[in-house]
Amino acid sequence: MQICKTIAELKKKIKEIKNEGKTVGFVPTMGYLHEGHLSLMRQARKENDFVIISIFVNPTQFEPNEDLATYPRDLQRDVELAKSVGVELIFAPEAEEIYPENYKTIVEVIDLSQSLCGVTRPGHFKGVCTVVTKLFNIVQPDRAYFGQKDAQQVIIIRQMVKDLHIPVEVIAGPIVREADGLAMSSRNKYLKSEERQAALVLFKALTIAREAIQTGERRAELIEQIIIQMIAKEPSVIIDYVSVVSGVTLEKISHLEGQVLIALAVFIGKTRLIDNIMLEVA
């Protein structure tokens, strides 16, 4: 497996791969890989001739008050994990390589970026869209894989790719959970033992909501209330948002029908966690 630190090095390698007529699957990550990332890499491995991942803690998607400095990093561990699932190339640039001095261009998906996580993180998706556009142009993958845990991100990137006609197929992989239901996240590392325990309420609340829908509940506000009341049982868990929205447009809905996204974000101590379920409601 090869590790590229510079764009020039990476582009040279990609040219070779393309010249051999190989298809490229790409998994962009911020590193500190977990089973959620690895499941995307395994899928990429199955569907493409060559698999590239990026490990880049993208500064522009962090708000000024967020955890950019402390975001967990362990390249050596990531390299071993990526190798174990058949990744052929890791692109692991420094920040200056992606954002050189006098960098001035931004890519933004309006409307979709201001709701849900965009309220607390107003610049987040602009940072995501900009770095993903750059990475797509550098890597020129045939397929790119994103985790459904970041449901809003998946919808925004699909919209961006469609709007800008970026020639890449965007594929979302399902949320991977710990045995007790906690959605895998690099930020779970921040949780102290009792916080980790409290965090289980997120999936419990989403599960109860799902059950309510399965038994016929269609009122979005009531679903939100079920979740809020469940989370309230854990006083250390502070709700950022709980939203029932269209799984296509991210618009608020009052009546559940079609593709529905139930998404939430909370703070536990300083740690912000997100989770969601996507349902097809008849």
Give the catalytic positions in this structure: 37
10, 50 in Cβ contact below 8 A?
no
Structure token digits, residue 258: 């079609």
Minimum distance from CB of 26 to a copy of itself (Å)?
Answer: 14
Q: Which is nearer to a copy of itself, 93 or 147 (CB)?
A: 93
Minimum distance from CB of 150 to a copy of itself (Å)?
Answer: 18
Minimum distance from CB of 230 to a copy of itself (Å)?
Answer: 33
116, 265 in Cβ contact below 8 A?
yes
Structure token digits, residue 104: 């001035």
Beta carbons within 8 Å of 141's beta carbon, 6+ residues apart: 24, 25, 26, 48, 52, 168
CA 126: distance to chain centroid?
14
Tell me the one-letter amino acid at 103: Y
Q: Which is nearer to a copy of itself, 96 or 179 (CB)?
A: 96
Q: Which is nearer to a copy of itself, 75 or 106 (CB)?
A: 106
Listed residue (111, 109, 112, 138) closest to 126, CA to CA:
109
Beta strand 2-4 pairing with 24-29 = unpaired
Minimum distance from CB of 104 to a copy of itself (Å)?
Answer: 5
Q: Which is nearer to a copy of itself, 6 or 84 (CB)?
A: 6
Q: Which is nearer to a copy of itself, 139 or 183 (CB)?
A: 139
3-state secondary structure of 74: coil
Distances (CA, A) of 4 to 156, 184, 204, 272: 28, 27, 41, 31
Residues that bind a copy of itself (CB under 8 A): 7, 102-112, 129-130, 133-134, 137-138, 140, 159-160, 163-167, 249
Minimum distance from CB of 119 to a copy of itself (Å)?
Answer: 17
Burial (Cβ within 10 Å: 0-12, 13-18, ≥19) of residue 198: buried
